Structure 1
Amino acid sequence: MTADPRRTPPGGSMTAFAALHRAGKPLLLPNAWDHASARVFAGQGFPAIGTTSLGVAAAAGLPDGAAATREETLRLAVALGSGPFQLSVDAEGGFSDDPDEVAEFARELHAAGAVGVNLEDGLGPVARHAAKIAAVKQAAPGLFVNARTDTHWLGDGDGTLARLDAYRRAGADGVFVPGLTDLRAIEALLRHLDVPLNVLYSPGGPSVPHLADAGVHRISLGSLLYRRALGAASEAMAEIRAGRPPTGATPSYEAVAGLGSR
C-alpha cells in the first residue's frame, strides 16, 4: 500500500508536535489501534495520538515486533493522518534492516500525515539503528524521530547512554526508554540528555504527576489501552455468561457509529 502524496496534510507539524514535549508538563500520549479508538482519544481532548504496534498486529492476527505489519501500519497512518490531532506512528524497527527501505517507509508515513515516528533498536547493532535514523531524517526531515532503545525493556539497562548518544548524533529528535521506571534513574538520565525523554507509563510504576515532577517530556501508554479494552470485553462476556449485566462504561450505538464519520 502506498500513501497518496497528493493528500492534504493535517494542520499538525513536527514543530508543533515537538512543542508538546515539555519538562514538567509532559505530553501524555494515548496509543490507538484503529480509527475509532483514535477518535475517542481525540474527543477527550488529547492533542496528539500515537499508534500501538501490538494493537495493530494483534488485530490483524500477526506477530508484534517481527516486521510483519508494514502494510497494516501504513494503512492505519493513512486512515488517521488527516485527523484533528498530531499523529505519531509506532513503526517497530522500520520493518527492514536496510536504512534506505526504512527511510522510504518513513517518507510514506509523512505523506500520509504523520508528524512523528517511533523506531526501536531491539538491542540490535547500534550503528545499524543510527544509520536508519540518519536515513529517515534525510528522507523525511518533517518527521519527529523518537529513537527507542530496549536496554531496560529487554536487557538490564546497560549501554543505555551510549545508545542514546549515538542515536542523538544520528539526528534523533527525542529518545524513548520503555521499561525505565525508577525515578532516580530517570532524573539521572535527564541530566545527561539534551533532547526530550519519553518513558512508558506502567500501572505499577510512578504516576503521571511524579513523572512530570521528575522532568519527563513525554509519557506513552503503549499497548496498555488496547489490552485494557480486550480485558473489559472479556470481563463483560464473563458477567453475561454468569447471568449478570456487564459493568463499566458502554458507549451507545449512536456514539460509536458517529466515530465512523471523518
Structure 2
Amino acid sequence: MEDKRTAFRKLHEALGAFIIPNPWDIGTARILAALGFPALATTSAGMAFSLGVAEGAVSREDTLDHCRSIVAATPLPVSADLEKGFGDSPQSAAETIRAAADIGLAGCSLEDHTGRRDDPIYDFTLAVERIEAAVEARRSLPHDFVLTARCENFLWDRADLDDTIRRLQAFEKAGADVLYAPGLRDLRTIRLVCKAVTKPVNVVMGMPGATFSVAELAEAGVKRISVGSGLARLAFGTFVNAAREMRSAGTFRFSDQAMSFAELEGFFTGTTKT
C-alpha cells in the first residue's frame, strides 16, 4: 500500500503531465489498468449514475464502499472524488481525510461546493478553514496521502477567475498538494491558473467545448488530467442511443459498434493486447 501512495506522489513530481482516468466500477477500473494508465480517480457522478441516482445522493457508507472496491480492483493508486466530504464543517473535512486514508486511497479531492443550488459555493473563510483542517488530518497520518483542493466556481455560473485564483492560492497556502478548478474552457485561462500557483494543477477534459491534447495542457503548466464523468457519460450515452434505436426503430444496428465478447473478456483474463 505504501508503494502505491509513494508512486502516486511521484507522478506529481515527474516531468510533464499525466492522465488519471475515472472508472465508475470494478470492470472499468480493470480495463483502464490493463491499458497502462498509472493511476485512477473515482467519479462521484459516474458512481451515482451506476447506482441509478443523481450526483450528490449517495450516502457516506455507499461512497466509501464504492471507493474501497475501486482500490481493491487493481494494483494502481486511486484518488477519490469525495465532493464536499461528509459534512460542511472543517471537522467533517478532517474526518473525510481520515476515512479516505483508512480504506487505502492514495488521495482524494475536496470541493468548495456546498451541495446547495441556491448557495453553491462556501464562504471564502469557511472554504479555507475546511482545507486547513483536511491538511492537518493528512499530516497526522502515518503514511503519504495526496490532498486535492477544488474551487467549483466555473461549474456553478461563477466565472470569476480572480476569485478562483484567490481560493486556489489560499488552498495552496493552507497546504493542499494539488489544486483544481474544473470548468476552465480555454488554454489562456488554464495557463493563468497554473502560473498563479506553485503546486501541481489538475484539469478535467471530456467536457463539451474544451478538448485539448496532453501536449497542449502540459505546455500550459498542467500536471494532472482527469476526465471526471466523461467516460461514464459516453458509455451511458451509447447505451441509451442503442435502447432508443430498439424502441423507436425496431433495429439493432448498434451491435455493429459493440466490442467483441472475447476482447472485452480478455481485459479481465489478461489476454487482450493493449
Q: CA deviation at 1:30?
A: 0.8
Report the equivalent of 2:71: 81
- Counterpart-to-counterpart distance in 2, 1:129 and 1:251: 48
Whether 1:246 and 2:255 are equivalent positions in the alignment is: yes
What TM-score results when the alignment is normalised by the length of structure 1?
0.86
Structure 1 gap segments, 5+ residues each:
1-8
2:31 touches 2:267 (CA, 8 Å); kept in 1? no
2:148 touches 2:177 (CA, 8 Å); kept in 1? yes
Q: CA deviation at 1:216?
A: 0.8
Report the equivalent of 1:104: 95
Find the partner of 2:32 among 35, 41, 45: 41
Find the partner of 2:234 among 205, 208, 228: 228
Q: CA deviation at 1:22?
A: 5.7
The residue type equivalent to 1:12 in the other structure is K
Find the partner of 1:171 among 146, 170, 175: 175
Structure 2 gap segments, 5+ residues each:
114-120
Taking the TM superposition and a 5 Å limit, the aligned residue runs for 1:102-181 are 102-122=93-113, 123-141=121-139, 142-154=144-156, 155-158=158-161, 159-181=163-185
The residue type equivalent to 1:61 in the other structure is G
- Counterpart-to-counterpart distance in 2, 1:10 and 1:143: 10
Where do 4+ consecutive residues of structure 1 move more than 6 Å? none
Q: CA deviation at 1:16?
A: 2.4
Find the partner of 1:12 among 4, 8, 27: 4
Pair 257,100 (structure 1): closer, same or farther in 2 beyond 3 Å = farther
> How many residues are treated as equivalent by the alignment?
251
Whether 1:204 and 2:209 are equivalent positions in the alignment is: yes
Secondary structure in structure 2 of the residue aligned to 1:95: coil
- Counterpart-to-counterpart distance in 2, 1:214 and 1:258: 34
- Counterpart-to-counterpart distance in 2, 1:113 and 1:210: 33
- Counterpart-to-counterpart distance in 2, 1:65 and 1:18: 28
Pick the structure with more helix per residue: 2
Report the equivalent of 1:190: 194
- Counterpart-to-counterpart distance in 1, 2:263 and 2:219: 40
